[in-house]
């Protein structure tokens, strides 16, 4: 029989289940992508079960298996929805089919997929790793979908059951770690921030000619990247920009991201605020193009107003070489401090003041950007991310004792 020390160095067969459109350029799919990259780099084989939406990303050692589509569902928004519920039912059956047809060492579930992956992993004698990107009952509150006390109570019980039964838990920020660790019963936990570098997968797009470069001649660009969901605070950003523009000549706001209907909504808001002529809505772009917008910016902003999880984009912002202006809220201050970012009240006046300060004080802006890059290199580098994933998986397999390659579990009451 393979010993525990030998098992930790053997290739594992991992069934990863992600209730997301994969790949699309938004939070959790980015996180899923980098988990896979790290596990594949360790020599593990990953079979990903995911929605029938999104684009394949070729990674050696990864096989993507998509669940059956749901009629009339062509896209799925961020957060709870009826469409997501229907897709999750299809995802469940795809997961059962995979487990029946092949033996896996680990079932690695993301978000709500953990609810059905926990019992399935036990039934098919595999370890269960729960990748916790958010608190499920908190999502109901934040997105105001299915936000009824009885439903929240059910999700609270389900979340507790997953946390207490999992063989290992990953959280992405301190707030989630504080929630999860007391319920993990001493089993392995790792706080692994979503700090991986997207350029390690996508690289940076090299324009074929000068006309393809992202440029805003004569403009002082403020950049926002990310989703256009209500919790992101884009209405606050537009209000603040309307104020800041009166104090900074040639200020120009560029927003990258958003679904077409969301972009139309905020374009209308920009017109209502009288800033449409100094605002550019780019829409969603391939991740390889993000760096070109960063290169064109003087300031990067994060106006989030709701939630406690650290936005994934903050880690890219830290390494960007640009000063950051962000709301002074727990969602940001878990990672940011006044030495690396301008932290401002979540008001139009406060956010505008922060924008004006960094645009009008170049030495201050440069000092912030330099300190942010130093923090990124020290705590949130891509190498550190890869090590954290490796150390976590080692701790899980060493605690249980596991033979690689679809072998049998032993220890912890499983045979």
Indicate if 248 and 183 belong to the same structural domain: no
| CB neighbours of residue 193 within 10 Å | 21
Characterize the bridge pairing of strands 62-66 and 106-110: unpaired
Domain count, the chain: 2
For residue 49, give the DSSP letter.
Answer: E
Indicate if 364 and 215 belong to the same structural domain: yes
Indicate if 131 and 55 belong to the same structural domain: yes
| CB neighbours of residue 5 within 10 Å | 10
The boundaries of the domain holding residue 264 are 200-379
Residues 6+ apart with CB under 8 A from 43: 11, 61
Indicate if 337 and 309 belong to the same structural domain: yes
- Sign of the Cα torsion 357, 358, 363, 365 reads positive
Burial class of residue 213, CB neighbours in 10 A (0-12, 13-18, 19+): exposed
pLDDT in tens, the chain (415 residues): 233 233 345 789 999 999 999 998 888 999 999 999 999 999 999 999 999 999 999 999 999 999 999 988 888 887 778 889 999 999 999 999 999 999 999 999 999 999 999 999 999 999 999 999 988 777 766 666 566 677 778 888 999 999 999 999 999 999 899 999 999 988 999 999 998 888 888 875 554 444 346 889 999 999 999 999 889 999 999 999 999 999 999 999 999 999 999 999 999 999 999 999 999 999 999 888 999 999 999 999 999 998 888 998 999 999 999 999 999 999 999 999 999 999 999 999 999 999 999 999 999 999 999 999 999 999 999 999 999 999 999 999 988 765 555 544 444 444 3
Please give the full DSSP string across 326-343, using - where no structure is assigned.
EESSHHHHTT--TTTSEE
Helical residues (DSSP H) of 166-289, grouped into ranges: 174-180, 199-202, 234-244, 260-272
**415 domain residue, yes or no:** no
Indicate if 24 and 133 belong to the same structural domain: yes
CB 381, CB 373: distance < 8 Å = no
Indicate if 211 and 179 belong to the same structural domain: no
**114 domain residue, yes or no:** yes
Which H/E stretch holds residue 325? strand 324-327
Indicate if 180 and 271 belong to the same structural domain: no
**229 domain residue, yes or no:** yes
**406 domain residue, yes or no:** no
Indicate if 351 and 206 belong to the same structural domain: yes
**95 domain residue, yes or no:** yes
Indicate if 186 and 247 belong to the same structural domain: no
**410 domain residue, yes or no:** no
Domain with residue 252: its CATH number is: 3.40.50.2000
């Amino acid at each position: 029989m393979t010993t525990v020390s030998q098992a930790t160095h053997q290739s594992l067969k991992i069934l990863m289940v992600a209730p997301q459109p994969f790949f699309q350029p938004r939070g959790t799919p980015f996180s899923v992508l980098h988990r896979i990259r790290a596990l594949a780099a360790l020599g593990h084989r990953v079979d990903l079960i995911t929605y029938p939406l999104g684009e394949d990303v070729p990674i050696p050692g990864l096989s993507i298996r998509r669940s059956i589509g749901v009629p009339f569902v062509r896209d799925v928004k961020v957060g709870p929805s009826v469409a997501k519920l229907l897709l999750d039912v299809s995802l469940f059956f795809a997961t059962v089919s995979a487990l029946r047809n092949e033996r896996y060492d680990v079932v690695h579930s993301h978000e709500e997929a953990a609810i059905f992956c926990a019992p399935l992993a036990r039934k098919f004698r595999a370890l269960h790793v729960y990748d916790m990107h958010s608190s499920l009952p908190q999502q109901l509150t934040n997105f105001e979908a299915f936000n009824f006390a009885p439903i929240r109570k059910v999700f609270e019980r389900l979340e507790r059951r997953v946390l207490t039964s999992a063989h290992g838990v990953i959280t992405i920020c301190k707030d989630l770690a504080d929630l999860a660790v007391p319920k993990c019963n001493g089993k392995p936990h790792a706080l692994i921030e979503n700090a991986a570098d997207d350029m390690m997968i996508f690289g940076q797009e090299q324009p074929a000619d000068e006309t393809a470069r992202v440029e805003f001649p004569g403009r002082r660009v403020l950049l926002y990247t990310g989703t256009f969901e209500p919790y992101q605070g884009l209405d606050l950003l537009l209000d603040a920009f309307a104020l800041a523009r009166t104090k900074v000549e040639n200020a120009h706001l560029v927003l990258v991201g958003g679904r077409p209907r969301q972009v139309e909504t905020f374009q209308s808001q920009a017109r209502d605020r009288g800033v449409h002529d100094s605002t550019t809505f780019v829409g969603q772009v391939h991740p390889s193009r993000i760096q070109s917008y960063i290169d064109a910016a003087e300031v990067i902003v994060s106006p989030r107003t709701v939630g406690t999880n650290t936005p994934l984009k903050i880690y890219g912002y830290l390494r960007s070489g640009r000063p950051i202006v962000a709301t002074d809220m727990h969602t940001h201050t878990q990672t940011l401090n006044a030495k690396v970012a301008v932290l401002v009240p979540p008001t139009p006046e406060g956010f505008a003041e922060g924008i004006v300060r960094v645009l009008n004080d170049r030495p201050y802006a440069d000092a912030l950007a330099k300190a942010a890059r130093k923090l990124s290199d020290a705590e949130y580098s891509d190498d550190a991310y890869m090590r954290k994933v490796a150390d976590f998986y080692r701790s899980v397999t060493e605690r249980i004792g596991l033979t690689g390659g679809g072998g049998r579990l032993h220890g912890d009451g499983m045979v």
